[in-house]
Amino acid sequence: MANKKEFKIGVIGAGAWGTALANILAQKQNVRLWAKEKSVCENIEKHRENKRFLPKIKLSKKINCTTEINNVSECEILFLVIPVQYLSGVLTKLKNSLNEKTIFVCCSKGLEMNSLKLPSQIVSSIFPKNKIAIISGPNFAAEIAKGLPAATTVASKSEDVSKKIATLIKSPTLRPYLSNDIIGSQIAGALKNIYAIASGIVVGKKYGENAVASIISRSFAEITTVAKSMNAKKSTLAGLSGMGDLFLTCSSKESRNFSLGIDLAKGKTLNEIIQKKFSIAEGVFTVRALKKLADKKKLDLPINEAVYRVLYRKKNIDLAIQELLNRPITKE
The answer regarding whether domain 190-325 maps to CATH 3.30.70.360 reads no
Give the catalytic positions in this structure.
192
Q: What is the pLDDT of residues 73-89, one digit of tens each?
A: 999 999 999 999 999 99
pTM of the model: 0.94
Task: Say what the pLDDT of residue 2 is.
Answer: 46
> Which whole number is the average pLDDT over 40-56?
97
Three-class DSSP labels, the chain: CCCHHHCCEEEECCCHHHHHHHHHHCCCCCEEEECCCHHHHHHHHHHCCECCCECCCCCCCCEEEECCHHHHCCCCEEEECCCHHHHHHHHHHCCCCCCCCCEEEECCCCCCCCCCCCHHHHHHHHCCCCCEEEEECCCCHHHHHCCCCEEEEEEECCHHHHHHHHHHHCECCEEEEEECCHHHHHHHHHHHHHHHHHHHHHHHCCCCHHHHHHHHHHHHHHHHHHHHHCCCCHHHHCCHHHHHHHHHHCCCCCCHHHHHHHHHHCCCCHHHHHHCCCCCCCHHHHHHHHHHHHHHHCCCCHHHHHHHHHHHCCCCHHHHHHHHHCCCCCCC
**4-180 has which fold?**
Rossmann fold (3.40.50)
pLDDT of residue 3 exceeding 60, the answer is no
Q: What is the pLDDT of residues 225-271, one digit of tens each?
A: 999 999 999 999 999 999 999 999 999 999 999 999 999 999 999 98
pLDDT of residue 5 exceeding 60, the answer is no
Query: Using 50, 70 and 90 to split pLDDT, how confident is the model at 7?
Result: confident
Query: Using 50, 70 and 90 to split pLDDT, how confident is the model at 280?
Result: confident
Mean pLDDT of the chain: 95
pLDDT of residue 1 exceeding 60, the answer is no
Query: Using 50, 70 and 90 to split pLDDT, how confident is the model at 6?
Result: confident
Q: What is the pLDDT of residues 163-190, one digit of tens each?
A: 999 999 999 999 999 999 999 999 999 9
**Domain locations along the chain:** 4-180, 190-325
